[in-house]
Amino acid sequence: MEESGRLLLKAAEIEGMARERRVHFLNPNAVRLRRSLGDRVGLTKLGVHLVEIEPGRVSTEFHIHYDEEECVYVLAGRGMLELGDETFELGAGDFLGLPAGKKAYAIRNDGKDLLVFLLFGQRLPHDVAEYPRLSKRLFRHRGTWSLADLADLSDPRDSRRGA
């Protein structure tokens, strides 16, 4: 937030913001062109991103968050939503809510134009995400990221409880 007090972003200014190209670390076809509106105005507990997905790309590796809530409001374009074991068409004006721990999701741009959506979410100091198709879990906490294969994780209480 370089300019203190700059809390309002006009549409023309947003249009001119540079798109960050973000490739998911687990999926080279998951590519977001991202403008972080929230960071720009100094929000720290909420992430607010204007996201563009190019035709043929997906928004993210199919995943679920166990702590952070997230939601999507589609502004333009068409997409195909994978949500749990179902698929849905997505278009402008559709809203997707992702309460923590409910369902994994990813969005594919299967149209010919850019798919544009607002992505809103909590920013917690800790979160656990899971990538069910890759059998991986990501523990994020206070700046540390620990990615593990599910096969390498165990619950020690299965032998003997303690602390």
Binding to its own copies (CB under 8 A) within 46-75 occurs at 46, 48, 60, 66-67, 69, 71, 73
Task: Give the integer Cα–Cα distance in Å for 39 and 103.
Answer: 27
Q: What is the DSSP letter of 26?
A: T
Does 85 bind its own copies (CB under 8 A)? Our answer is no
Task: Give the integer Cα–Cα distance in Å for 90 and 113.
Answer: 13
130-149: which residues touch its own copies (CB under 8 A)? 137-139, 141-142, 144-149
Bridge-partner residues for 122, per DSSP?
Answer: 46
Nearest CA among 131, 87, 126 for reference residue 107:
87
Binding its own copies (rule: CB under 8 A), the pick from 111, 113, 120, 132 is 120
Does 113 bind its own copies (CB under 8 A)? Our answer is no
Binding its own copies (rule: CB under 8 A), the pick from 33, 41, 80, 114 is 41
Comparing CB distances to its own copies, the nearer of 42 and 56 is 42
Binding its own copies (rule: CB under 8 A), the pick from 3, 16, 112, 163 is 163
Binding its own copies (rule: CB under 8 A), the pick from 2, 16, 44, 112 is 44
Least Cβ distance, residue 146 to its own copies (angstroms): 4
Binding its own copies (rule: CB under 8 A), the pick from 2, 3, 18, 161 is 161
3-state secondary structure of 37: helix
- 44 and 121 Cβ atoms separated by less than 8 Å: no
Q: Positive or negative, the Cα torsion across 108, 111, 112, 118?
A: negative
Least Cβ distance, residue 55 to its own copies (angstroms): 20
Residue 20 has which token pair?
Answer: 């960050």
Binding its own copies (rule: CB under 8 A), the pick from 78, 118, 132, 134 is 118
- 133 and 63 Cβ atoms separated by less than 8 Å: no
